[in-house]
Amino acid sequence: MDYQPSLSDIRFLLNDVLDAGTQWRELAPFAETDDDLASQVLEEAGKFVAERVAPLTRDGDEIGARFEGADASGFSRVVMAPGFRDAYQSFWQAGWPALSCAPEDGGQGLPWVLEGVLYEWLSAANHGWTMAPGLLHGAYECIRHHASDALKAVYLGKVASGEWLATMCLTEPHAGSDLGLARTRATPQSDGSYRLSGTKIFISGGEHDLTDNIVHLVLARLPDAPPGPKGLSLFLAPKFMPEGSRNAVHCERIEEKMGLHGSPTCVMRFDEATGWIVGEPGRGLNAMFVMMNAARVHVALQGIGLLDAAWQKADAYAKERRQMRAPRAAAAAPATAATGPDLIIEHPAVRRMLDVQRAWIDGGRLLAYRTGLELDIAKHHPDPKRRDAAQTWCSLVTPVLKAAWTNQAFIGASECLQVFGGHGYVREWGIEQIVRDSRVAMIYEGTNEIQAIDLLVRKVLPDGGAALGKALLSLRADMDAGRETDAAVMRRFAELRYLTATLVEAAKQDAMLPYEVADDYLRAVALALLSWSWARISATEGGDAPRWQQADAAMHSRILPEFAMRVSMIQTRCKTILGAVAA
């Protein structure tokens, strides 16, 4: 079965739980965006995803992107899987890439969260196809905020509309997570342009036939640049020059990958290619991080979407497949030989696997949509204090979302494969493709280990946990200590704040400690925030329906006990360090 977006679930989370419309109508650019318009946009988005993108996923995996050797001009080309180009051309011509871009740039000026839902669905339906437009919004923001007026005049509108796709060329064979090791050179020219020379690897969509041009954003080093990350500048190098000639940007090959066969992951060689600087010399990472941070929220939504796609397949299969007799409570009518085997959805082990994934999906959606709202609030709210609070939220929660939900996408998809038994391990049902496709999201846009270090070492410890404490306190505003679920969330928040204070003291004695426990700390924060999500769902009218309560029950019995375990692991390590000092 192909993926089917569930608009009713999204409406409940956005409208009923988050009251998103009220929040974005406080922002001047979205004052006229009512709930009906947002619902209509999402309804049409769901139709496009289900009808045009989802049916292409198997061909994308089995046929994939094909590398063709160099032609007479010396340039290689990549041909995408059947149907990919037509679907993409319809996608940008219908205006979907420009959903949240500014109207003055040719965009529709709608709230970011609507774009977030669209890309969640696209990733669930066809992760390989979605890799192509997935970087567009980040590239748009990067060019909009850092490029010269001359570059904007040529490239901004094309990228905003999606008529031209973009890449993010960071990684080199010897420089993966440590971008400061990058060696690609940029040599200034008398006309103000630069000549780029070097090789970049793992470039998603570095070459393809989806669009008539590709805009490459490339990190490179000027001749007098110091070593390390402060010596990197950012450059824009198109596949085709403004007058139509081919730029010296070569795709040397595409990688043979575990998954994402529909997306060409390219080795790109810049052979004295022409480019123009974006932003200031030596501040390339600052400009690029505009692109990367936007991409990380999208990657978190990829995780949520892929997990939902896996769950849909497993849930449908469990409601059709019959195996053995399911255990029954003593009061239930016993099965007889005449009734035959039961649906596997009736077996507690299968029910558990499915409900656990549902809890992660829906709780993650609420957090991701809240973060989407905060992204717009950080840009457009009239109160500077509210803007600052929103920026703090995004800074803290983005690495949590990216790491925890891409991790769960892979683990949860594997659990969903288990529901199929041996049938899940063969290609017929498509579940094994989701397992393969989801694994890379734990790696790209900053590995999950880097996200954990970013959260604890760079964002929590420097101010002693003050910003995190304020963010947690802000979530208490709409909670009721007299309600048990809310009270439990408040206790977890208090434990998290105490744990943070202990970590601050222990880290003074052992500088290695934060790096050792960062993954456990991020996981604890994710579980605390997940419990907040479900407390809000259960407290909302309609949240007591079976659709939500089955997953809520799994939250409390199967997921949240891990919080105490993670806290205990970190506390034990801290006590060992602090005890040694006291002795």
Give the catalytic positions in this structure.
Answer: 445
**Interatomic CA distance for residues 271 and 250, integer angstroms:** 8
Torsion-angle region of 172 (φ positive above 0: left; ψ -120 to 50: alpha; else: beta)? beta
**Interatomic CA distance for residues 150 and 133, integer angstroms:** 24
**Interatomic CA distance for residues 391 and 410, integer angstroms:** 29
**Interatomic CA distance for residues 525 and 233, integer angstroms:** 34
Give the residues across from 234 on adjacent strands. 219, 278
- 335-341, Cβ contacts within 8 angstroms, sequence gap of 24 or more: none
Residue with tokens 């397992």: 435
**Interatomic CA distance for residues 304 and 361, integer angstroms:** 6
* Of 409, 503, 408, 494, residue with least CA distance to 459: 503
* Of 51, 49, 46, 59, residue with least CA distance to 11: 46
**Interatomic CA distance for residues 92 and 332, integer angstroms:** 55
* Of 565, 574, 449, 564, residue with least CA distance to 500: 574
Residue with tokens 């103000």: 192
Residue 393 to residues 47, 244, 378, 405, 459, Cα–Cα distance (Å): 32, 44, 9, 17, 11
Residue 442, φ and ψ in degrees, nearest 5: -75, -10
